[in-house]
Structure formats: C-alpha cells, structure tokens
Amino acid sequence: MSADDGAEAANERTERNVKRFLFVNRKAPYGTIYALEALEVVLISAAFDQDVTLVFLDDGVCQLKKGQQTKETGMKNFSPTYRALEGYDIEKLYVEKESLEHRGLTADDLLVPVKVLTTEEIGALMDQQDIVISF
Amino acid sequence: MTAAVAVKGKDLEVDEEGYLVKLSDWSEDVGKAMAAEDGLVLTPNHWEVINFLREYYDEFQIAPAIRVLTKAIGKKLGPEKGSTKYLYELFPYGPAKQACRYAGLPKPTGCI
Amino acid sequence: MTILHTINKSPFQTTDLDSCLRHARKGSAILLIEDAVYAAMGNTGISERVGEALKNTNVYVLGPDLDARGLERERVVRGVEIVDYGGFVDLAVEHDHVQAWV
C-alpha cells in the first residue's frame, strides 16, 4: 500500500474522521523505556480505528532484531509483541535503509516483514501525515 | 495488606483489580476460584476462551484487545463464536477483562 | 594504576564511546554494557574504530546484554571478549578503579 493513496482515500478518511498517525521509533529496546512505551501507545491507538504507520530509524531499527533473549537480564522480552501488530490491523511498518546499514543489519535480521525505505522516502512519508509522534 | 485469591488453602497475590501478580502462580484452580468469587461456574466454552488467551499471551506477550480477540477466536473456533455477543454471554463483565483475569494474565493493553 | 571503563549508551546515539576511547590509556580495559553492546558488533559504521581500540586496550562486552538484544555472539568484532555477570565482577576487582561513562 502506497503512503500517498490519492484523493479518494483522503475523502474516505475525512468522512470516517480518521487521521493519519505516524509513530517514529528512534531508540534501542531495553536501555530506555521509550521502545516499550511506544509499542503500548501504538496498541492503544488501534482501538480508535486510526490510520497508523510505524517508522523505525536510527537505533529504533534494533527494536525489530530477531532472536532477543532477555531471561538472564531479568527483563521482559517484548519483541514478540511486534508480531501481534498485524492482528491489530497495523500493517504499515517502514524501516530506514541507512540506519540498518550503519548497524550492520539487513531486513533478514528483523522479526517482522517490513518495507525498507531510504532517508529521502521516509522524509516524504513524514510530510504526508496528520500527526507525527516520536519516541 | 495486599489482596489475594485463596486457592486450595494458599493465598496468591492479586493487584487492586483482582489480576494475578505473578503469572507463574496460575493453575486451572486459580481460574475456578476467581470465577467462584464472581458466582460463576466455568464450562468447557469458558475454558476454550481462557486457553485461547493463554496461548495468545504465550505467543505475543500481551493480552489482546477485545476486537482482536473476537476476530482471532472467530478464525480459530468458528464464526458463531467469534462474536462480541457470544463472548459477553460467557463473560458478562467484559470478555477481555474478565477472561484475562481468570487466565492469570495482565489486563489487556488498550483496554479502556 | 589500571582503570576499567564501562559504557552503557549506544555508540550510534551518544558520543560516550568516542570520548572514552580518546581518554583510555594503553593497558586499560573497556567493558560494553546495556545499549553500548551494539558497539561490539562487526560490520557496522563504527566497527573499525573498535578494532583500532583493541590495539591498545582490552575490550569486553556483557553477554547477557548481547542476548537480550538478539545480537549473535558470532557476529561480535574479533578480539572483543564476551563476559558474563561473574566476569564483570572479576574485571571490577582486577582493576584499581572503575570509571563509568554514563
């Protein structure tokens, strides 16, 4: 699904009183509470039937790294919850290419299917939103 | 003093809304005891939903919102069970809230 | 006088690692913990910098923090030593003092 979906879709959103929400995830998991808090806000937003898009850039791409095992650190592993997003009809997940590369990662390292976009494309995506919330 | 649910002579800690504090404290007897406090006897239909919730939590580490639960139940147990009406008949206090409590899970995220 | 430097912030988000590497003297030790464990990974934008540091200092990374973040131990920069919590304590005891770059 393209982010720029044309006038017809825009009219439908106006009728249903739906806004385009973009959640920008920029922090690594566990070191701070931002990633977990963002995830909870995203899940709650799904209850309001809004048009939700998630972007992962900078250290935010690390939230989606496969194979997280937190047992020894005594923290809760919340990475499986990203797999539940599909069931909440949150299916627009975008990851920044440059951020992945800088961290030695590829889309194969991630635990959910995502679309990889360049910095340029993510900038354009931000421009198309009604509301941008950054974590 | 903290709240507790008595199960087979043992007090298990619950929070102010009656949710089990330690997930590992759960057994079927916990679900039965909580339901009994609400004046409810759990039937196989109740257990179907409770077990579904426990499997969902095991896979995704959250308790699902009611809309998500209804859809997923419909997919797994058939469309006649994937309705809010059916689930409210089983769990009159709200399927996500009440069933999650009996299942020993935290309150669903996004439950408002 | 030997120092154990500990870093707990992501090298991609703060300059803590950079500053530590500039100040760490030959023979001292650096332990990467919490979000700093990302610095231990090979094939990143800063792996080369960590490789340089290994010429003069011993670099360690906390294994449980790698595991929590899904970072494969076999992808850690060669020469960086993985330690567990017990190893953390041993390092703290072996050095004269601990400098935490928080």
Helix (H, G, I), strand (E, B) or coil at A61: helix
Residue A85 contacts residue A40 (beta carbons within 8 Å): no
Average pLDDT, chain A: 93
Q: What pLDDT, on the 0 to 100 scale, is given for residue B112?
A: 44
Task: Determine whether the interchain pair B71/A47 forms a contact, defined as Cβ–Cβ distance below 8 Å.
Answer: no
| Beta-bridge mates of residue B20 | B14
| CB burial string A33-57: b at 16+ within 10 A, e below | ebbbebbeebbebbbeebbbbbbbb
* Closest C-alpha among A90, A86, A115, A85 to residue A100: A115
A106 compared with B10, residue with greater pLDDT = A106
Which residue ranges make up each domain of chain B? 3-102
Task: Please state which of the four CATH numbers 1.10.645.10, 3.90.1660.10, 3.40.30.10, 1.10.10.370 is assigned to the domain occupying B3-102.
Answer: 1.10.10.370
Contacts of C53 (CB under 8 A, 6+ apart): C21, C24, C30, C59
B5 compared with C89, residue with greater pLDDT = C89
- Render pLDDT for C78-96 as a digit per residue (tens, 0 to 9): 999 999 999 999 999 999 9
Q: Is A96 on the interface with C (CB under 8 A)?
A: no
State the sign of the Cα–Cα–Cα–Cα dihedral B101, B103, B104, B109. negative
Q: Which domain holds residue C47?
A: 3-101
Q: What pLDDT, on the 0 to 100 scale, is given for residue A1?
A: 46
- Render pLDDT for A89-99 as a digit per residue (tens, 0 to 9): 999 999 999 99
Measured CA to CA, the distance from residue B83 to residue C88 in angstroms comes to: 54
- By C-alpha distance, the chain C residue nearest A111 is C70
* Closest C-alpha among C41, C48, C58, C49 to residue C5: C58
| Beta-bridge mates of residue A110 | A65
Beta strands in A1-135 (DSSP E): 20-25, 51-56, 92-96, 115-117, 131-134
Helices assigned H by DSSP within A16-102: 34-46, 97-102
Q: What share of chain C is helix, strand, coil (3-state, %, to 5)?
A: 40, 25, 35
Share of chain A above pLDDT 70, in %: 97
- Render pLDDT for A106-129 as a digit per residue (tens, 0 to 9): 999 999 999 999 999 999 999 999
Whether residue A49 lies inside any domain: the answer is yes
For residue C41, the chain A residues in CB contact (below 8 A) are 103-104
How many degrees, rounded to 5, is the angle at CA B109 between CA B42 and CA A72? 95
Measured CA to CA, the distance from residue A25 to residue A95 in angstroms comes to: 10
- Total domain count, chain A: 1
- By C-alpha distance, the chain C residue nearest A101 is C44
- Render pLDDT for B41-86 as a digit per residue (tens, 0 to 9): 999 999 999 999 999 999 999 999 888 999 999 999 999 999 999 9
ipTM for the assembly: 0.94
Q: Shortest Cα distance from A70 to chain C (angstroms)?
A: 4
Q: Which domain holds residue A40?
A: 18-134
Task: Determine whether the interchain pair B65/A84 forms a contact, defined as Cβ–Cβ distance below 8 Å.
Answer: no
In this complex, the residue of A30, A59, A103 whose CB is nearest that of residue C68 is A30
Q: Give the CATH number of the domain where residue A105 resides.
A: 3.40.1260.10
Least confident of B13-17, B20-24, B95-99, C42-46: B95-99
Average pLDDT, chain B: 90
Q: Give the CATH number of the domain where residue C16 resides.
A: 3.40.1260.10
pLDDT band, residue A63 (cuts 50/70/90): very high
**Cα–Cα separations (whole angstroms), residue B110 to A55, A133, B21, C34, C65:** 21, 17, 19, 29, 30
Q: What pLDDT, on the 0 to 100 scale, is given for residue C33?
A: 98
The pLDDT of A20-49, averaged and rounded, is 94
- Total domain count, chain C: 1
Helix axes B44-60, B66-77, angle to 10 degrees: 110
Task: Determine whether the interchain pair B62/A87 forms a contact, defined as Cβ–Cβ distance below 8 Å.
Answer: no
